[in-house]
Structure 1
């Protein structure tokens, strides 16, 4: 069996140090704030979300360049026979395309770019599960690629935002354009499906959005056995904390729940006072 490595990007929400320890390559997207572009992995998450809360300026993001990918691919191919490269959904970012260009330049026979249809911990859990399968030594490259392509069928990603302006300005609003201009005293409930943002419903009242979002995120998929769960927020500890409390009320042990601010690339596009729940199922 060939030795297979993984390359992903920072939107997977796994700490870059953990990725490095696991031997997983990571390419960073960029954020333009304070008048310059910086790698997202080099920006302090808490500082960024505090800036987002207090500033009228909406930062911009940029995909990694093909050269960024080339550097990582060439380094990884010194240790691995083949690479599986999985990234933020192609419908949300040009990252996938940069990876594809780089693979053609480096060695497209040894580098497999596979659409994940995910981001945040949907992508993160995919990367971790893929790593387990590779380490088992029981799967071919084609079987691993198929696993990646079908992983979204076992994932729920539901979230709400404080304002749709951030998604609209960043061009990531997807089918949720139907909700623009209709948010007076109403919270939008959104989901990530097939790599794109879709509107679910408009909900009047903060407490109702907490309950409804949690209920939908906990809908069973696959064989119906909950495997992973993350509650994420864009610096809003109240929203994140209330979602966490609602999950715990359902009997999920607190120690099994990841609770943290989401990666700033996704957080920037959602804006302040946003949060959500990611679940994966057997």
Structure 2
């Protein structure tokens, strides 16, 4: 393993081949579903996951990795030869993962005296987090220092956008984030609620009826935020909506001609809060 290692959490949705290419270590989150605790690493197959989620009497609870889990990850890469670690995790406004990673780093510094660790709050999630991690990993692979890789990651965060729409408000309502009556009306009217996550802030950008109209709106919003004169990186994300995600990816490819484009599925921890049918895109321009 390289001297500088990259560590992140399972919300990142980085494609498996890129995880392996850059030797990125993933620390999984977990969730409690029907009195059974599962690790967010795909060990529970998706069909079974959604069947259990649909029938659950209560919305499952999710949990950040423990400080000990991060310590174990730091110790593992140390044993493989890395003496520097850049750990980039999901926004601290969404989860306690950042605090757990900081606590794990303190434990590692105490026991592994010659190890240097920097933890970054990405202020984003899912594929947006994945892009921040990949930017740092690519910098690390080129031989830069820990500080230089961290600077590249931190410089990307304000340029990183995440836009999406929910296929249903059912699971958001189960979590108490919207009233049940709002979810019922939304389902009745087939409304698709559009949101943005940017630099740590989540805002609602309205609602439209039907998936095609929602996709049109996503592309319009993306066009307002990107720079067509600079290289563009895009990840289309979804929850159990492969065909719709591939259709959106094709439109992105035709309309924006990105330098990089991939499709990824939300982790199960994230899917608990959104349910199936979520579709969106994360993107940024090179400086």
TM range (shorter): 0.7 to 0.9
2:97 aligned partner: 95
1:47 deviates by: 2.4
Are 2:203 and 1:203 aligned?
no
SS of equivalent to 1:145: helix
Where do residues 64-75 of structure 1 align in structure 2 (5 Å cutoff)? 64-75=65-76
Where do residues 106-185 of structure 1 align in structure 2 (5 Å cutoff)? 106-107=108-109, 110-137=116-143, 139-167=144-172, 169-170=174-175, 183=186, 185=189
- Contact 2:33 2:60 (C-alpha < 8 Å) held by counterparts: yes
Name whichever of 94-103 and 151-160 sits farther off. Answer: 151-160
Name whichever of 56-65 and 83-92 sits farther off. Answer: 56-65
SS of equivalent to 2:41: helix
- Contact 2:172 2:274 (C-alpha < 8 Å) held by counterparts: yes
- Contact 2:13 2:264 (C-alpha < 8 Å) held by counterparts: no
Q: Distance in 2 between matches of 1:39 and 1:228?
A: 30
Are 2:213 and 1:212 aligned?
no
Q: Distance in 1 between matches of 2:22 and 2:224?
A: 31
Are 2:193 and 1:188 aligned?
yes
TM-score by length of 1: 0.83
Deviations 1:149-182 (A, max 9, x none): 22122222101112334345547x6xx99xx667
Name whichever of 195-204 and 46-55 sits farther off. Answer: 46-55
Superposed CA RMSD: 3.1
Gaps of 5+ in 1: none
- Contact 1:11 1:119 (C-alpha < 8 Å) held by counterparts: yes
- Contact 1:217 1:278 (C-alpha < 8 Å) held by counterparts: no
- 1:278–1:66 distance in 2 versus 1, CA, 3 Å: same
Q: Distance in 2 between matches of 1:45 and 1:154?
A: 34
Corresponding residue to 1:275 among 250, 267, 279? 279
1:30 aligned partner: 30
Q: Distance in 2 between matches of 1:197 and 1:165?
A: 19
Q: Distance in 2 between matches of 1:202 and 1:42?
A: 31
- 1:207–1:49 distance in 2 versus 1, CA, 3 Å: farther
1:80 deviates by: 1.6
1:103 deviates by: 1.0
TM-score by length of 2: 0.82
Aligned residues: 275
- Contact 2:8 2:27 (C-alpha < 8 Å) held by counterparts: yes
